[in-house]
Amino acid sequence: MASHAANLWVLLGLGLAGIFLMTKRLKKTIKADFGAFIQKLELLPPPQPAPPKAPHPLTGLNFAVSDVFDIEGYVTGFGHPDWLKTHEPSTRTSPVVLALVEGGATCIGKTVVDELAYSIHGENKHYSTPTNPAAPARISGGSSSGAAVAVAADFVDFSLGIDTLGGIRVPAAFCGVIGFRPSYGVISNTGIIPVSSSLDTVGLFAKDPSTLRRVGLVLLQLPFSVQRNPKQILLADDCFELLKIPKDRISQVVTNSTEKHFGRQVLKHENLEKYFSSKVPSLKEFYSQKINGDSKISSLTLLANVAQILQRYEFKRTHGEWINSEKPVLDSAISAQINETLDMTDKEIEICKLVRTEMRLAVNNLLKDDGILVIPTTAYPPPKLGSKEIFSDDYQNRSFSLLSIASISGCCQVTLPLGYHDKCPVSVSFIARHGGDRFLLDTVQTVYSSLQEHADTVAKSKLSPNAVKQEHSAEAVKEKGNQAYKDKQWQKAIGFYTEAIKLSDNNATYYSNRAAAYLELGSFLQAETDCTKAISLDKKNVKAYLRRGTAREMLGYYKEAIEGEFLHFMFQVFCIVIFICKPLHLLDQSEMKTKDYDCSCPVWICMLFENFVE
């Protein structure tokens, strides 16, 4: 006995030692702040105004800023220690940061950015790479990597970054948080180190749509307006073809949520490649001037090229002198891009700027005041840390083809998380016209919870993408049948319900609805058969029982009608009466638990009623 006890103590000791070693290793791998912060500080809001004045709009919120925003008394580091060494502390705080502090929020620190805020990967060898809380073995995305991580890890309520070619949208997508790139020029860039002056936009990360909207309205300084619902939601079909995960994993979620809130008629489809080819003629001129090779190069790929050239050209024009004099040690990939010779004539730069002007007009005309364009945020799930995948041509082309749409047009875009696929965060992006920022934020507020619900349902579904598509088609046909039934077109309704059954033959509602139409036509035998099938698929389908009772009565099967439908009806009434009258403390607790009823509240009563009234 003593020997057995001693062995147990030895095992317990080994177990604790193992836990200690694992914890120590984990702490070495993941910092306490996930490597998000480069510097902690505190900027406190002013005192609350005396009543009856309203409190500050951002009271109770805290935030962090990427290390490209000036804060008085601190050197803005720009993601590189050599920049930090060669620059003086800021003499004033960025107006954007001041507006948030004066609005009642507390700033608690500066966060890591990519080297010189240049790439979209989030890996910084000088300050270590922030750990992605949503997928620790994967990159967090850049350039505003630390700001996204700070929100994803719940260190702050929101954070600020800068988006040039995805600096907000990519880390938001990879870390599973909301990312907002406002319309170009609507928020001041004063007090922010520029990357590319014609593309840079102050951006925002938030964990929930309410915080996003609160902060967004303060930043944008928008007047009150009545909330409007979108009249068209455009799915960019060709953009979804760029995805490296099943496209239905995202498009199905958006479709279901749109139908729930705004109706099927709002949903439309668009091919952006064709649209931009016809509406942005300067792309052809850019192609003839600069691109050699495949004559079938897509307009989205051309947009990606224009965006990258503009970024490189403007970055070198702004920071080239410092790079040449200080010769900072840069990541090889960033160094290659920055130092690549750009033989750009003034005419070619003007063409790039013309593309930008035409793109804004094209997107504004496509969406008008009440349209939302839906695209994937990124084509790839977040790559693994240290992966070479991020440098491949395919990764670059697909990524920037999607990111360049808002960057070049200057339109506003929100990245929204949609759960996980293969343990990696999934997202979708909504784009509104330039200046449609409030409309976009209102739309996000309306549909966000529904998107999360449908994302959860689709993620848990074991159906193949093709099966999901068939289910969706079946629902669409059923709705047509319902409309025909309402219009008293019984035979037409039967045809639609039959088509729905062919697409999805395990849905009790389709059979029960077809039975209702058969009853109207006097086809009682067919109605009885359909109802029996519906009941075999769903024992709780009361409508099917009642319709079968009607069919059997008309066929003269009185005994079967009474035994089947009446007894089923009376049994459910009996169960409800017994359970309501029986004191809760006399209920069999184990039985309730097996039925997943909560014995601590009257919800179980509703669960029982559900069988009766459905």
Here the tokens at position 538 are: 């769903």
Report pLDDT digits (tens) over 96-125: 999 999 999 999 999 999 999 999 999 999
Give Cα separations from 153 to 217, 255, 593 (angstroms).
24, 30, 35
Beta bridge partners of 159: 64, 205
Write down the pLDDT at residue 175.
98
- Residue recorded with tokens 């805290």: 62
- Mean pLDDT calculated for residue range 486-503: 94
Whether the Cβ atoms of residue 512 and residue 503 lie closer than 8 Å to each other: no
Here the tokens at position 581 are: 């009258």
- Mean pLDDT calculated for residue range 367-395: 95
Rounded to whole angstroms, how far apart are CA atoms 399 and 300? Answer: 10
Rounded to whole angstroms, how far apart are CA atoms 274 and 281? Answer: 12
Residue 555: is its pLDDT beyond 80? yes
Residue 606: is its pLDDT beyond 90? no
Report pLDDT digits (tens) over 206-226: 999 999 999 999 999 977 778
Here the tokens at position 27 are: 């702490």
Residue 3: is its pLDDT beyond 80? no
Here the tokens at position 607 are: 């669960």
Phi, psi of 345 (to 5 degrees): -80, 165
Whether the Cβ atoms of residue 182 and residue 420 lie closer than 8 Å to each other: no
Rounded to whole angstroms, how far apart are CA atoms 311 and 407? Answer: 10
What's the pLDDT band for 538 if we cut at 50, 70, 90? confident
Write down the pLDDT at residue 9.
56
Question: Which domains, from first to last, does the chain contain?
Answer: 37-327+338-463 (3.90.1300.10), 466-580 (1.25.40.10)
3-class state of residue 575 by DSSP: helix
- Mean pLDDT calculated for residue range 279-306: 82
3-class state of residue 270 by DSSP: strand
Whether the Cβ atoms of residue 537 and residue 508 lie closer than 8 Å to each other: yes
Write down the pLDDT at residue 166.
98
Beta bridge partners of 429: 375, 415
Beta bridge partners of 421: 424
ω into 450 cis (within 30 of 0): no
Residue 613's H or E segment, with its range, is: helix 603-613
User: Cβ–Cβ contacts within 10 Å for residue 5, how many?
Assistant: 9
Write down the pLDDT at residue 341.
61
More confident residue, 386 or 415: 415
Residue 473: is its pLDDT beyond 90? no
Residue 333: is its pLDDT beyond 90? no
Give Cα separations from 73 to 43, 88, 94, 295 (angstroms).
12, 9, 12, 54
Here the tokens at position 122 are: 């989030």
The chain-wide mean pLDDT, for the chain, equals 86
Report pLDDT digits (tens) over 30-56: 678 999 999 999 999 999 998 888 899
Write down the pLDDT at residue 290.
58
Here the tokens at position 374 are: 């839906």
Residue 540: is its pLDDT beyond 80? no
What's the pLDDT band for 518 if we cut at 50, 70, 90? very high
Phi, psi of 433 (to 5 degrees): -60, 165
Residue 269's H or E segment, with its range, is: strand 267-270
Burial 423-446 (b: 16+ CB within 10 A, else e): ebbbbbbbbbbbbbbbbbbbbbeb
Phi, psi of 418 (to 5 degrees): -130, 45
More confident residue, 524 or 597: 524
What's the pLDDT band for 556 if we cut at 50, 70, 90? confident
Burial of 53 (0-12, 13-18, 19+ CB in 10 A): exposed
Residue 378: is its pLDDT beyond 60? yes
Report pLDDT digits (tens) over 125-164: 999 899 999 999 999 999 999 999 999 999 999 999 999 9
* Least confident residue range of 212-221, 462-471, 552-561: 462-471
Q: Averaging pLDDT over each range in 83-92, 120-129, 261-270, 502-511, which range is the top one?
A: 83-92
User: Would you give the distance in Å from CA 356 to the centre of its chain?
Assistant: 26
Residue from 59, 81, 408, 429 nearest 240 by CA: 429
Phi, psi of 470 (to 5 degrees): -65, -40
Residue 463: is its pLDDT beyond 80? no
Write down the pLDDT at residue 296.
75
CA angle (568 as vertex; 567, 570 as ends), nearest 5: 60
The proportion of the chain whose per-residue pLDDT surpasses 70, expressed as a percent, equals 83
Residue from 144, 139, 175, 121 nearest 69 by CA: 144
Residues with Cβ within 8 Å of 331's Cβ and at least 6 positions away in sequence, in order, are 115, 119, 123, 125
Report pLDDT digits (tens) over 163-173: 999 999 999 99
Rounded to whole angstroms, how far apart are CA atoms 303 and 31? Answer: 39
Report pLDDT digits (tens) over 246-258: 999 999 999 999 9
What is the torsional sign of CA 317, 321, 327, 329? Answer: negative
Instruction: Say if strands 106-111 and 62-66 run parallel, antiparallel, or are unpaired.
Output: parallel
Rounded to whole angstroms, how far apart are CA atoms 196 and 204? Answer: 18
Which residue type occupies 358? E
The pTM of this model reads: 0.73
3-class state of residue 122 by DSSP: coil
